[in-house]
Amino acid sequence: MGLFKKITTGLKKTKESFNKKIYELFKGRELDDEFYEELEYALISADVGVTATENIIEQLRDACFSAKITKSDNAKDLLREIMVGEIDYDIPEYDYPLVILVAGVNGVGKTTAIGKLAHYFKSQGKSVLLAAADTFRAAASDQLTVWAERSDVRIVKQNEGSDPAAVVFDAIGSAKARGENVVLIDTAGRLHNKKNLMNELCKIHGVVDREFPGCDYRSYIVLDATTGQNAVSQVETFGEIFDIDGIILNKLDGTAKGGVVFAISAEQEIPVCFIGVGEQIDDLLKFDAKDFIDELIPR
Ligand SMILES: Nc1nc2c(ncn2[C@@H]2O[C@H](COP(=O)(O)OP(=O)(O)O)[C@@H](O)[C@H]2O)c(=O)[nH]1
Ligand SMILES: [Mg+2]
């Protein structure tokens, strides 16, 4: 399935609910208060978030006023542009060797995202090593092993209960020895034990900094789009633990509220780097703000 098709089917639920509202709103309507109220309602219903919605509406009002636009048909392109601007970041290209730490609460799809990322980098001709630093449950490294086999990449793991930082230490040593291009670190997500989690993640950061100076190091948080505003508070909580470079937003296929991208990315000022749109190995797409808006607000 082509990339375009993937995003279209992945966002099917969001599109179904949002496209219809947008179509009606941008068909011959006066740009009066009622119009803006309905647009505001449509955005908030799609989980765009109150702050981001207000921002978007205010920019649209200003832009239409400046351009002397009075009919909604002519305002659609402006809305598209404004919404793209809210979630479009200049993300530096990856440098290699690259290390990506993947964090987030249980069940958001961290391990699955790593499996998909392994395939993503592998298909770009990069060599990949997985570090099974979720040592809390034996099942976690078993699950990651299955993904490693699927993508035919190496994995470094230790026994259940071992020190996650020690796994990362081993993995980096091995990656350096073998000249691997990409190391992907899976972690546990025990948020109810925040102090432990914080210690664990800080220790991992320390190991990467010390053992792999000069690597391109990115820390990503994985979020479940179906949890809506909960995802926003997870960004805030993890943001207290480390500097989040980017978001992997999973399970967009399972929600009609894909507007949550705005609530987490625009309001928190953190780029969404990848979106998960299913459980298959190629169901992870590099996020592109324009493609995303093309689906939400068709031209
Ligand atoms: N529909 C859908 N399911 C997903 C997606 N990403 C992950 N999952 C499912 O979410 C569940 C939890 O994933 P897992 O990777 O184990 O989460 P972790 O606890 O954060 O490591 C699994 O059943 C995955 O198949 C996605 O983008 N779409
Ligand atoms: Mg996991």
The gap between the terminal CA atoms of the chain, to the nearest Å, is 23
**CB of 291 within 8 A of CB of 87?**
no
The neighbouring-strand residues paired with 181 are none
Q: Which residues line ligand 1 (CB under 6 A)?
A: 104, 106-112, 189, 250-251, 253-254, 276-279, 283
> What is the per-residue pLDDT for 195?
87
What is the β-pairing status of strands 182-187 and 272-276? unpaired
Burial of 113 (0-12, 13-18, 19+ CB in 10 A): buried
Report the separation in Å between the CA atom of 146 and the middle of ligand 1, taken as the mean of its atom positions.
Answer: 14
> What is the per-residue pLDDT for 192?
74
**CB of 227 within 8 A of CB of 107?**
no
| pLDDT tens over the chain, length 299 residues | 555 688 999 999 999 888 989 999 999 999 999 999 999 999 999 999 999 999 999 999 999 999 999 999 999 999 999 999 999 999 999 999 999 999 999 999 999 999 999 999 999 999 999 999 999 988 999 999 999 999 999 999 999 999 999 999 999 999 999 999 999 999 998 877 788 888 999 999 999 999 999 999 999 999 999 998 899 999 999 999 899 999 999 999 999 999 999 999 988 899 999 999 999 999 999 999 999 999 999 88
What residue spans of 189-296 are helical by DSSP H? 194-211, 229-241, 260-261, 267-268, 289-296
Report the separation in Å between the CA atom of 278 and the middle of ligand 1, taken as the mean of its atom positions.
Answer: 8
> What is the per-residue pLDDT for 1?
56
pTM over 0.85: yes
